[in-house]
Chain A
């Protein structure tokens, strides 16, 4: 303490003043922000830093994993037997349905050949464990333990056993960042199972709520309707369950109906997710349309109010 007090008496020994440093680092941060938000040049830097901090991140996930492990180790045998029984029943029921589905698939393939429509492509899935859930209340994101080293690419769809969870938005060597369908303004192209109506479902930023926007007031949607992916964008394979409609408000004062859905996938229920790979790439979009699309996206943040 005494040593430091004498140091403060010497003039000009602390380099630039605090204000100068504040200005310097603020400008540096703003520059980085601008470059990162606009151009995404800094992905390689992010990768390098992510490798440095990876061991620490795994370390913080350890208590949760140990808790799970201890739970599994200490679970009672009677409980296991009951669970086993339940799973066996479920398996029997599922395999019966699977047989049925195989028949339907064959039939469908035949009909498609007859109608000369392109065959539905099969896709493979890859299992990944959730390392941790969202870090920031602004974002609906999570990290899974499969990364570039496991062949994961950004843009892949992520599902669990009950529905679509989200999309891989960034990959690191051993981790991938998954943006959930409930992330604010995240869009998934969907189709209503009952009526075949195509629509787009938007994330609301709330973990168990999705919005079906821009549908006219008299749209044919009922409470309980199931929404599945339409496969229109080439990101999500078709016919994966996404959400169920829970509320439809038809107020003629507004141009659009307000439709609220709940996502079907339960991120908070299990640790394992599936990353879908091998969805066939669609032919590239015509250029003129793409430009218009970009312009629209840039305009959008300015008027973001609900319809």
Chain B
């Protein structure tokens, strides 16, 4: 598995700015789908997860500033307080940046465990702000970090498949 992954990384195409932006647009759209009820409780944080992916794999391209900007957009769309998601994503991006060398040494399963802790921290920041402002915390909110962490492996595989060059340009 690990050999396969390192081999893949050797041959990954450089991620273009356009590809990174498109991936974020898709993540934001997924997050804005009309989730409700139990699906909303379990909704993974697509934007956070993708931010973490780019922070660990392309730390020179995507960093804390972009995380913060994304957070502001999500804040407006979610009608949360200005800066609530921004703060959570800042922390998440910092976690991704500081762990980027370490995380890539592990297999996907072990990476997911790392990612879970980082996401938990970011969810914790969001809930902490909410607790400070509104005075209560909904504990089922943290379930989202678990589903997000479970999505880490599929997401990584998906993006690496998209970034892999085609062996024969004439191939479909």
Residues of A within 8 A of B (CB): 1, 3-4, 7-8, 14, 18-19, 21-22, 25-26, 28-33, 35-37, 42, 45-46, 49-50, 53, 56-57, 59-61, 63-64, 132-139, 141, 143, 170, 177, 184-185, 205, 268, 301-302, 304
Contacts and interface: CB of A to CB of B under 8 A. Distances in A.
A132 B87 contact: no
A238 B15 CA distance: 60
Interface string B64-76: 1101100111001
Interface size class of B (residues with CB under 8 A): 35 or more
Interface string B24-43: 01001100111110001100
Interface stretch (B90-98, B106-114, B152-160, B164-172): B90-98
A61 B34 contact: yes
A19 B81 CA distance: 24
Nearest to B64: A21
A57 B32 CA distance: 7
Nearest to A179: B79
Contacts of B121: none
B64 A170 contact: no
The majority secondary structure among interface residues of chain B is helix
A143 B63 CA distance: 32
B134 A184 contact: yes
Given A56-B29, A60-B33, A33 B81 contact: yes
A168 B165 CA distance: 51
A25 B65 contact: yes
Contact of A33 (B41, B79, B129): B129
B136 A1 contact: no
A63 B33 contact: yes
B3 interface: no
A35 B94 contact: no
Given A1-B12, A28-B68, A184-B136, 5 more contacts: A21-B94, A50-B77, A53-B77, A57-B77, A64-B34
Contacts of B136: 184, 205, 304
B13 to A, nearest CB: 10
A177 B80 CA distance: 11
11 contacts: A7-B60, A8-B60, A18-B64, A29-B83, A32-B83, A49-B76, A53-B73, A132-B32, A134-B36, A136-B80, A302-B135
Contacts of B7: none
Given A1-B14, A46-B76, A304 B135 contact: yes
B134 A33 contact: no
Contact of A49 (B28, B35, B73): B73
A174 B104 CA distance: 45
Contacts of B78: 135-136
A21 B65 contact: yes
B77 A25 contact: no
Contact of B134 (A7, A134, A138): A138
Contacts of B87: 25-26, 29-30, 33
B90 A22 contact: yes
A37 B133 contact: yes
B140 to A, nearest CB: 7
A137 B73 contact: no
Interface string B135-151: 11010110000000000
Contacts of A50: 76-77
B56 interface: no
Contacts of A42: 82
B63 A29 contact: no
Nearest to A50: B76
Given A36-B81, A136-B80, A138-B138, A26 B90 contact: yes
Contacts of B34: 60-61, 64, 132-133
A220 to B, nearest CB: 31
A77 to B, nearest CB: 29
Contact of B41 (A4, A64, A132, A137): A137
Contacts of B52: none
Given A138-B134, A177-B79, A4 B94 contact: no
A135 B134 contact: no
Contacts of A3: 14
